[in-house]
Amino acid sequence: MKQGKYKTAKIKGYIDLTKPSILLMVLITTLLGYYLGSDGISSWLKLFWTLLGTGLSAGGAGALNQYLEREQDCLMKRTRDRPIPAGLIQPQDALLFGLILVLTGSVLLVWKVNLLTGFLSLLTAFMYILIYTPMKRLTWLNTSLGSIPGALPPMGGWTAATGSIDSGAWILFAMLYLWQHPHFFAIAWMCKDDYEKAGFKMLPVIEPDGARTMRQIFWHLSLMIPVSLLPFISGMMGNVYLAGGTIITLGYFCSAIPMLRHKSKANASIILKASVFYLPLLLVIIIIDKGI
């Protein structure tokens, strides 16, 4: 490989270590929390530091996750081309890169935003790396455990704006906690053969017929319907949110019906796509509601 192409591939490898798709969702939910907590964008500079610090910490956590799962990633078709299994980046370099990003992001949040937001960022990385990651090899409950750090970014956005954790922050936490279960159970169903090769105890792996997986998906989707109404009930949001939020939440619920009738990768992908569209649509609805 020519020197120029090698450097470009190396840079792309480091970017891929941060898990850009997950990172984007983290930033969207952080923005959502900040926007709601500040009743709009009260300080663009503080928002900038919030997103930068959170992004660095979340990206570092993604890199550390890939460092810890490098052997398992070699066994799975969907991950064997990641930077470490592909030999593009050495494990020790990924470890150092991840640690630097997590610490830099957390320190930046403490320095430029507030101590509470920095603490939540560090807690998120800690739980993702040292609790969720090893639990994937031990119990199918890893999805529920991993949904805790996954639900903290909007809370971090809220604390960045308000400096405190109150009912609004907990409502956002609950919504994101529930949202993740159908999302990740759909991925687990689509990739269950890969997960089995790697020794991950995902629910579709230990229970191949999918009955318990579907119960979990519908249980969490059912809970999302009343929980999604809480921003309106609590007075955080208005009628636009009530209408729009209800429509997209019911749409998310209905996306699982084909999977209930016939368990297949194609039908699981419908749930996955609905989950991916849900958060950006929710953010747009909130912005419109606040702007009226």
Distance CA 250, CA 222 (A): 9
3-state helix, strand, coil in the chain (%, to 5): 80, 0, 20
- For tokens 């997950």, the residue is 22
pTM of the predicted model, to two decimals?
A: 0.93
Sign, Cα dihedral of 204, 180, 224, 261: negative
Q: What is the identity of the amino acid at 253?
A: F
Q: What is the identity of the amino acid at 249?
A: T
Distance CA 129, CA 165 (A): 24
For residue 291, what pLDDT is reported? 80
Domains 1-163 and 166-292 share a fold: no
CB atoms within 10 A of CB 93: 18
User: What is the number of residues in the chain?
Assistant: 292
Of 73, 121, 116, the C-alpha closest to 94 is: 73
Q: How far is CA 27 from the centre of its chain?
A: 9
CB atoms within 10 A of CB 273: 12
For residue 230, what pLDDT is reported? 97
Q: Are 268 and 190 in contact (CB under 8 A)?
A: yes
56, HSE (Cβ side, Cα atoms, 13 Å)? 18
Distance CA 141, CA 162 (A): 33
Query: For the chain, what are the domain ranges?
Result: 1-163, 166-292
* pLDDT tens digit sequence for 11-48: 999 999 999 999 999 999 999 999 999 866 668 999 99
H-only helix segments in 163-264: 167-190, 192-198, 203-206, 211-227, 230-233, 239-254, 257-261
Q: Are 206 and 193 in contact (CB under 8 A)?
A: no
- For tokens 């969702």, the residue is 25
Region of 207 please: left (phi>0), alpha (psi -120 to 50) or beta: beta
- Which segments of the chain have a pLDDT < 70? 1-3, 39-42
Q: Give the DSSP per-residue string, 146-165.
A: HHHHHTHHHHHHHHHHHSS-
For residue 40, what pLDDT is reported? 62
CB atoms within 10 A of CB 165: 15
Strands of 95-190 (E only): list them.
none
Q: 166-292 adopts what CATH topology?
A: Four Helix Bundle (Hemerythrin (Met), subunit A) (1.20.120)
- For tokens 């995902």, the residue is 202
Out of 2.60.40.1530, 1.10.10.10, 1.10.357.140, 3.75.10.10, which CATH number does the structure's domain 1-163 have?
1.10.357.140
- For tokens 């929390």, the residue is 33
Distance CA 287, CA 292 (A): 9
